[in-house]
């Protein structure tokens, strides 16, 4: 799994950082392993805003961050209410936030949790298993 960090403004690195975690799903999942866990470290100074991005690119290191907003899709739970910590933004420095992905054939399920509990509802989408899937983490501004 590759990790890349980009800055919207090179003179304001703390306020304009975007971290891209790039994984070729078919490379990391085999046999019975169908769950990919992503956990934010406790040492993070800023609480990230999470979202899934689906877009095609040849090289994650050459991506144009200015165009990310065209492809960025925030989590949407429809009519169901999310956990209070997510709705209120009740996340503090030191909290552990998880994103769990489950793969079942060409279906991707994802959910978020705080402190390994208080999970959101699962979001479900279909995808082409041959397509590279990326997780985009945008730092709080």
Instruction: Look at residue 73 in the predicted model and tell me its pLDDT.
Output: 46
Q: How far apart, in whole angstroms, are the C-alpha atoms of residue 96 and residue 42?
A: 6
Q: Where are the domains of the chain?
A: 2-138
pTM comes to 0.45
Strand partners, 19: 5, 137
Mean pLDDT, each 10-residue run in order, the chain (141 residues): 59 66 51 48 43 39 50 54 68 71 77 78 72 56 37
pLDDT of res. 141: 37
Report the candidate in 3, 2, 24 with the shortest Cα–Cα distance to residue 131: 24
pLDDT of residue 95: 72
Residue whose entry in the numeric block shows the structure tokens 């406790």: 42
């Amino acid at each position: 799994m590759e990790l890349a960090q980009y800055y919207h403004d090179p003179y304001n690195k703390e306020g304009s950082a975007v971290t891209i975690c790039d994984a070729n799903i078919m490379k990391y999942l085999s046999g019975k392993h169908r769950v990919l866990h992503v956990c934010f470290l406790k040492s993070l100074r800023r609480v990230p805003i999470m979202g899934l991005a689906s877009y095609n690119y040849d090289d994650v290191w050459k991506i144009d961050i200015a165009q990310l907003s065209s492809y960025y899709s925030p989590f949407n739970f429809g009519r169901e209410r999310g956990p209070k910590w997510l709705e209120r933004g009740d996340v503090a420095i030191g909290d552990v936030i998880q994103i769990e992905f489950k793969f079942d054939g060409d279906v991707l399920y994802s959910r978020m949790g705080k402190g390994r509990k208080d999970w959101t509802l699962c979001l479900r989408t279909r995808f082409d298993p041959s397509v590279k899937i990326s997780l985009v983490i945008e730092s709080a501004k």
